[in-house]
Amino acid sequence: MKDKPKIVVVGGGFGGLAAIKALKGSGGDITLIDKRNHHLFQPLLYQVATTSLAPAEIAWPIRHLVYKRNDVRTLMGNVVAVDGHKKEVALADGTKVPYDYLILGTGARHAYFGHSDWEPYAPGLKTLEDATAMRRRLLVAFEKAELETDPARRQDLLTFVIIGGGPTGVELAGAVIELARITLRSDFRNFRPEDARVVLIEAGPRVLPNFKPEMSDYAQRALKELGVDVRLGTPVTAVHADGVDTAHGSIKSDTVIWAAGVLASPAAKWLGVEADKAGRVKVRDDLSVPGYPEIFAIGDTAVLPRPIPGIGDAAKQAGRHAGQIIHARLRGNAGAMPFHYHHLGDIATIGRSRALIDFGWLRLTGWIGWWTWGFAHIYFLIGMKNRIFIALNWLWIYLSGYRSARLITQDGPTPASASPEADPAPAGTADTPQLGSTKAKLRP
């Protein structure tokens, strides 16, 4: 009996899962590899970091998501190399996984634009570990402020700086200011949490630069109404233990958050192919890698000649397309199948009652936009249980301002005392970009 074609998918994010779904009935043996055992709904990751949601509400075990697919096996492992000639994927533990077709959806990590030494002082938000560490850092700052007797030192503890005015930065700024001024306002006795200061730094002339100018203007006004200190046209020149230095002065802060850019995984280096400045593989119009027609790169791993936003739906469309091409080839159809991306729109939220929706044909802001944003995200969640729980949780926060996931965990050093990771883009991680919001690609 002839062996079944071996199809390997690296990355259990939006793109990887969409590819596996498209490969159903292809007749191939599919292996899904991810560094973690869960699929993460990254668009809501900032809500874990700011205590609105618990980690288990936005992540699901990958094995459970594919348990009905007898043609799929799942491996938890860190990819360290791909041999395009031997057609093997190498894992950190020495395991070699052979393939006939390979889909790389290895995602991205934070990009510090040549300043990797900033990372310990300004961690980003890409994984559940990042979110729980950030949650700990935010809550510990308030706990330390309760013990602090020096007013100047207390103000440093209560100053939160967010670098990057894209969707992640804007959403984090709104959530952090509401955490301080609404959720925690009655929890402390030696200071007023309402005195906390949130500073959003953007190097460009406006926040949400990929939205229409009028939508960006609305976002800036909404942030200022919440009490966020928005600083535009302010490049960051240094990040250190005492805070941030900018072209227009320094800001003292114990808590700095990075939301300014991404760096692709080392997939291009593995294959020895051309990449752009962010490390993304320059793929052909069908998403295949030049010189390797059996290898496809999707999501944040790839860049096409025409611009495609780094959002969740783009990754899903690319993963589905790569799976459809492989499916067609296994059926004997080797015809050209160029990828055509269909942009559904951009969405972002600012706090618990403001959002921006731009579907092109429809634009919404304010509380109507916020409810639309909520329904859109609930629709894309996995499982009815999660949809119901998160909908009820959001309704409760909307009515009461109370956030229940305020647990300080991960006892140990905060990110500010950790050393930088050698590899800012760990391989084999889920490709989980923002849903409906273009990521900021801003230089500090």
Closest CA to 130 of 167, 158, 166, 168: 168
| CA–CA gap between residue 324 and residue 8 (Å, rounded) | 14
In the chain, count H helices and then E strands.
Answer: 11, 25
Dist CA 197 CA 180 (whole Å): 9
Output the CA–CA distances (angstroms, integers) from residue 402 to 179, 355, 384, 396, in the order listed.
9, 20, 23, 7
Bridge partners of 355, per DSSP, are 349, 366
Q: 406-420 as b/e, with b when 16 or more CB fall inside 10 Å?
A: beeeeeeebbeeeee
What DSSP line would sit under 334-374, residue for residue? ------------EEEEETTTEEEEE-SS-EEEHHHHHHHHH
Q: pLDDT in tens for each of the 444 residues of the chain?
A: 468 999 999 999 999 999 999 999 999 999 999 999 999 999 999 999 999 988 988 999 999 999 999 999 999 999 999 999 999 999 999 999 999 999 999 999 888 988 999 999 999 999 999 999 999 999 999 999 999 999 999 999 999 999 999 999 999 999 999 999 999 999 999 999 999 999 999 999 999 998 999 999 999 999 999 999 999 999 999 999 999 999 999 999 999 999 998 889 999 999 999 999 999 999 999 999 999 999 999 999 999 988 888 889 999 999 999 999 999 999 999 888 999 999 988 999 998 889 999 988 889 998 898 888 888 888 888 777 778 878 877 777 766 666 767 888 765 544 443 433 333 333 443 333 344 443 333 333
Q: What is the model's pLDDT at position 191?
A: 96
- Tell the residue number behind the tokens 């300014």, with chain if given: 260
Contact 8, 31 (CB under 8 A): yes
- What is the C-alpha to C-alpha distance for residues 194 and 202, in angstroms, rounded to an integer? 24
Total-model pTM: 0.88
Told to judge if 171 belongs to the known catalytic residues of this protein, a careful annotator would answer yes
The backbone torsions φ and ψ at residue 37, rounded to the nearest 5 degrees and listed phi first, read -95, 10
Q: What pLDDT does 377 receive?
A: 86
* C-alpha pair distances (Å), 248 with each of 28, 158, 240: 58, 21, 16
CATH class given for the domain over 6-110+262-330: alpha beta
- pLDDT given at position 2: 67
Choice among 57, 119, 171, 178 that is catalytic: 171
Tens of pLDDT, residues 403-422:
767 888 765 544 443 433 33
Q: Which DSSP helix (H) or strand (E) runs through 200?
A: strand 197-201
- Write the DSSP symbol of residue 180: I
Which contiguous run of DSSP H or E holds residue 31? Answer: strand 29-34
Q: What pLDDT is recorded for position 334? A: 84
Element (H, E) at 138: helix 128-147
In whole angstroms, what is the distance from residue 208 CA to residue 216 CA? Answer: 6
d(CA 441, CA 336) in angstroms, rounded, equals 32
Using alpha carbons only, give the angle 395, 397, 400 rounded to the nearest 5 degrees.
Answer: 105
Element (H, E) at 312: helix 312-330
**What is the Cα–Cα distance from 174 to 167, expressed in whole angstroms?**
11
Strands 249-252 and 255-258, by their bridges, are unpaired
Domain extents in the chain: 6-110+262-330
Q: From CA 176, how far away is CA 180, in angstroms rounded? A: 6
**Exposure string for 120-141, b = 16+ CB within 10 A, e = fewer:** bbbbbbbbbebbbbbbbbbbeb
Q: How many CB atoms lie within 10 A of CB 282?
A: 16
